[in-house]
Amino acid sequence: MAKINLKSNEMSGRRPNSQGSNKSLVFGIVSLAVGLAVFGMVRYLTIQTENQNEEARAEVVQLENNMNTDDVKKLYDFQDRLIEIEGLMDNKVSQMELLEKIERHTLPATRFTKLEFERQSSKTEIDATVVVENHVELAKQIEAFSLIGSEVENVFLSSSKINREGSGIEGNVIFYYKDIK
């Protein structure tokens, strides 16, 4: 017949193995505590971030309310004027630069009796009345004006006559100075 152990643990002197179950219980409690701590930290940081966002939104609303609409209109008007002035400056032909070029290309024997500038859409018309000794000098002066640069076009003589003083030929020279950007 088989042996059956009817003795209790107290009688046999052995204790049940409770260390394995204690370790599992401790591990479970520690894991639960760590999980709750992480969840609490994430929740706390989320609330802090939401509060900071709300404060920032409130500050933006306050700044928008503090801005005077007249000031904003003035600011936009000022910006529009700056853009318009910038466009005008880009399209402007420097009168000094043009006069310097005409001066450099004027022959020594040439005298001006009239020099007019008329601004057109993309170019400036120069109407010059010059007095020179003879027609050859007048032709040389017209050629000199045509050599000012690539921005000069259509140099022509509109009229010529003997000077009132009788000291040479008076010629009306017209040419166009293109705007270069």
CATH of the domain at 124: 3.30.980.50
Number of domains the chain contains = 2
Distance CA 78, CA 70 (A): 12
165 three-class SS: coil
pTM for the model: 0.48
The token pair at 43 is 């929740």
User: pLDDT tens digits for 19-54?
Assistant: 567 888 899 999 999 999 999 999 999 999 999 999
Report yes or no on 20 lying in a domain.
no
1: pLDDT strictly greater than 80: no
Q: Which amino acid is at 78?
A: F
Could you give the residue ranges of the DSSP H alpha helices within the chain? Answer: 9-12, 19-66, 69-91, 95-104, 135-146
10: pLDDT strictly greater than 70: no
Q: What is the pLDDT of residue 20?
A: 60
59: pLDDT strictly greater than 90: yes
Domain range for 57: 36-87
User: pLDDT tens digits for 113-145?
Assistant: 888 888 887 788 889 889 998 889 989 988 888
8: pLDDT strictly greater than 70: no
Q: What is the mean pLDDT of residues 85-106?
A: 78
**Residue that is written with structure tokens 């209109």 in the block:** 73
Domain boundary among 70, 87, 104: 87
Q: What is the mean pLDDT of residues 65-71?
A: 76
Distance CA 107, CA 142 (A): 10
Q: What is the pLDDT of residue 14?
A: 56
